[in-house]
A and B are shown apart, each in its own frame.
Chain A
C-alpha cells in the first residue's frame, strides 16, 4: 500500500481516511517539488553570484512581466487543483448521514458520554461495530468541544445549543484515540477516550452484556410524565396543546405562516425556546425548560417523541 510509504504515518481506517491520506500525500509531493526548486535556486544563486566570484553578470534588463505572468498563472492553477481535490473529499466526509445505527454523544467539561439507543451508556469510550456506518448525534452541555478521532481523519466541533450529526465508519478492528480538539478549560487534555472497533457479532454481544435499565426512549417517556409534559400534550388534556403522536419527521405549520420539519433540532428548540416557533392554531402557553433539563434528558425526550411517531 502506498500509504505506508509516508514516514511516521499510520494509515486512516475510515472510508474517507484513504482519500485524506492520498490528499496529504499529494500536498506533500507538491510542496516538496516547490521547495526543492526554490532551495535549489537559492543555493545555486548564492554560490554562483557570491560577491567576488568572476562570472558573467551581463545584466538582463529584459522585461520581467512574462516571468511574473507565468509563475502567477502556474501557482493559481496548482492551487485551484488542490482546492477542488480538497473540497471533493470534504463533501464526502460531511455528507448528510442517512438514518442508521445511531449513538448519542454528550460532551461536557471534561468527559464524553456516549449513549446507544438501546440505553447502554459509556464514559470516555465509544464501542462500535466494524464496517458499519454509525450516525452520531452530538450535543454539548456547556462550552464548545470538538470530537476528534485521528485514526478516522475525522473531527467535528460540538457547539452548545445545537445538535451536530456526523457519520463515522471504521474499517479495522482495534483501539483508537478519541480526543477533544477544541480547548475547553482546565482539564481539556484529560478529555480523551477510546474508540473500540469490534467485530459486528462481538459488538452485539457487548451491547447485550451492558444490561441497560431501559431504552433511552422509555426513559424519555418517564421524563415526559415526570416533568409534566403529559399534562398538556396528551389526548385527554383540557389544555389546548399540540398532540405529539406522529409529529416526528412531518411538516409543522407555524403561526407566522411558514412550515418546518419536526426534526431533532425543532423538538429540542421547542422544549427550550417554545416561543421561538409557535405551531399554528395554538396559544404560546408552554413555559421554557431552559436550565431545567440537561442535554442527557433532552436527548431522551427527543427520542421519546420520535418513538411516538413510529406507533400506528
Chain B
C-alpha cells in the first residue's frame, strides 16, 4: 500500500467542502466551471439554431435577448475569468514553485464559496425570469427600461468579483513569498509570470466593476442621477466605468491562456522558450497598457475625437507585446524536437487562432474601420477568436497537459487528438463566417435579420453544432480515464517543471522533500531529455 495522495487521503463530503488543500479547491472550481461552461454553451447553441433562418422561429425576441445575455454573463464571469487561474492555477501554482499550498489556504476556500454564492444568485436571476440587458448592462436601458432581473444578476456579478479579488491577492502573495529556495524571478516558469500579471489586473480592476454596479443600484432604487440624462446623469459615464474594468478583464481572460501556451510549446518542442525575458515582461506590459485602452469601445458614441485618437493609438501599442509572444512561440519551435500530443495540438491551434483574433483586433482599433464594424458580427467574431479560439483552447490544452498530474490517470490519446482537431474545425466554421457577416454590416444581438445574410448564418450555425459536439467529447474520454485510465507516472511528458517532480497525483503535502531549484526553467539536454529544475 502506497502513501495516500490528495485524492485518497479522505473520502468524506466534509473533507471536500471544508478542505483548504489548493488541489481539492481546484477540483471544486473545475466541477463548478464545467457546469457553467455547459450552461453558457447551451444558451449559445440555442441562439445559433434560432439564427439558422432569418425569421424568428425557435424563440421569441425577449427569450433571444435573455439567451445572449445569459451566455455573456455566464461565460465571462463564471467561466472565462476564473477558468485557468482558479482551476489549473490553483492546482499548479504551489506545485510549480515548490510550496506546500497557496499563501492563504482558507481565503482560497472562502473565494470558492463566494464564487458559488455569486453564481447561485446569477442562476436564480436566470431561472426567475432572466436578464435582457446584454452582459454589458448599458444604461439607461439597464437602469430604467429593462423589466428583467437586472439587479439580481448584477448582485451575482458583484459578489463573484470578490472571489476574483481574493484569488488575485492570494496568487500575488504566494508568488512573492512562497517560492522554493533557489527559485528566483527569472527562474519562474512563464505560466507564473502571466498569472502574476493577471492577478494584478484582478486586484486593481475588479473594484471598479463593483463600484459601477453599486452606482446602478443606487440610481435604480434611490433615483440618484449618475447615468440617466433625465435626472442629470450621463449614459456614457457608465460606458467609461464599465470598460475601464471590462477591457482589462479581456486581458484577465487571455493572459493565463498565454501562460499555459508557454508550458506546452516548450515541453513538446523539447526546448526552452525563446526570448524568456521578453515573454515574461510582455505579460506585465499587457497588464499595464491594458488599463489605457478602454475608450476604443466608444469610437461611435460621440466621445471627443481627440480621446478616440489617443485610445486608438494605445490600442495599437498594446498589440505589440502580444505580437512579441506569438513570434517567440514560433521561434521556440525552431530546431526543437516536436511531438504532437493532444496538448501540443491545442497549443498550435491557439497560436493560429489567437493571431487571427489579434489581427482583427487591429481592424477594430483602426478608427475609420471601427465606425463601420463596431457593434456588428465582426466584433463578435473577433472576440470569440480571442476568448474561445484563444482562451478556451489554452484551457483545454492545459487541462490535457496536467490531467495526468491532477487525476493520476492517462486519457485516450486517440480521442484527445480527435477532439482537438474537431474543436479546431468546428470553431473556425462557426466564427469565420461571422467576420464576413460583420463586414457586410449585420449588427450583433439581432434576433431576426435580412435574408441576404442567411448563407453565412447557416454556415456558422452548422459549425456551432460541430463545436458543441466536440466540446462534449472530453467529458466522455476524460471522465472514462478517471475510472479506467492507465495509471500515470510522475512525469509522463518528461518535463522539467517542479510540478512533475512529485508523484501523480501529488500527496496532500505536495513534496516529500522541499525541492531546491538549481536552474532556469525549460532546460533540455542535447538528446531532448528534460533537466528537472531541482536536480
Contact = CB atoms under 8 A, between A and B. Distances in A.
- The residue among A83, A160, A192 with the most chain B CB atoms within 10 A of its own CB is A83
B368 A188 contact: no
B355 A159 contact: no
Contacts of A153: 371-372
Given A75-B323, A76-B320, A86-B369, A51 B278 contact: no
A143 B145 contact: yes
Interface stretch (B183-191, B333-341, B390-398): B333-341
A90 B371 CA distance: 8
A64 B275 contact: yes
A5 interface: no
A85 B366 contact: yes
Interface in B39-94: 61-62, 65
B333 A49 contact: yes
B335 to A, nearest CB: 5
A99 to B, nearest CB: 19
B301 A49 contact: no
Contact of B61 (A38, A187, A290): A187
B197 to A, nearest CB: 18
B330 to A, nearest CB: 5
Interface stretch (B103-111, B216-224, B433-441): B433-441
Interface string B508-525: 000000000000000000
A154 B299 CA distance: 12
B477 interface: no
Contacts of A299: none
Contact of B333 (A23, A46, A52): A46
B359 A35 contact: yes
A75 B300 contact: no
B146 interface: yes
A15 interface: no
What is the size category of the interface that chain B forms with chain A? 35 or more
A155 to B, nearest CB: 5
Contacts of A148: 375, 441, 443
Nearest to B524: A59
Interface residues of A, number: 83
A275 to B, nearest CB: 11
Given A179-B443, A273-B232, A75 B372 contact: no
Given A20-B369, A159-B236, A50 B351 contact: no
Interface string B296-331: 000111100100110011001101100110111011
Interface stretch (B12-20, B405-413, B445-453): B445-453
Nearest to B376: A181
B331 A185 contact: no
Interface stretch (B134-142, B198-206, B252-260): B134-142
A34 B338 contact: no
A90 B309 CA distance: 9
A67 interface: yes
Contacts of B317: 76, 79
Interface in B338-397: 338-340, 348, 351-352, 355-356, 359-360, 362-363, 365-372, 374-376
Contacts of A31: 359-360, 362-363
A42 interface: yes
A38 B328 CA distance: 11
Contact of A34 (B232, B355, B369, B444): B355
Given A76-B320, A79-B320, A146 B375 contact: yes
A160 B140 contact: yes
Contacts of B132: 185-186
A82 B366 contact: yes
A183 B133 CA distance: 8
Contacts of B372: 20, 24, 150, 153-155
A157 B368 contact: no
A91 B141 contact: no
B305 A94 contact: yes
Contacts of B300: 146, 155-157
Given A20-B372, A89-B367, A90-B367, A42 B316 contact: no
Interface in A60-107: 60, 64-65, 67-68, 71-72, 75-76, 79-80, 82-83, 85-94
Contacts of A19: 368
Contacts of A291: 230
A136 interface: no
Contact of A159 (B146, B235, B308): B235
B192 to A, nearest CB: 21
A45 interface: yes
A39 interface: yes
A180 interface: yes
Contacts of A154: 371-372
Nearest to A276: B232
A57 interface: yes
A2 interface: no
A212 interface: no
A144 B141 contact: yes
A142 interface: yes
B355 A82 contact: no
A189 B352 contact: no
A182 B297 CA distance: 12
Contacts of A90: 299, 305, 308, 312, 367-368, 371
A162 interface: yes
A87 B312 contact: yes
B367 A86 contact: yes
A83 B313 contact: yes
A79 B319 contact: yes
B4 interface: no
Which 10 pairs between the two chains have the least Cβ-Cβ distance?
A161-B229, A150-B441, A86-B366, A89-B368, A90-B367, A189-B446, A45-B333, A79-B316, A181-B375, A143-B141
Given A83-B365, A88-B368, A161-B229, 7 more contacts: A8-B439, A41-B330, A57-B336, A64-B278, A86-B312, A86-B370, A181-B444
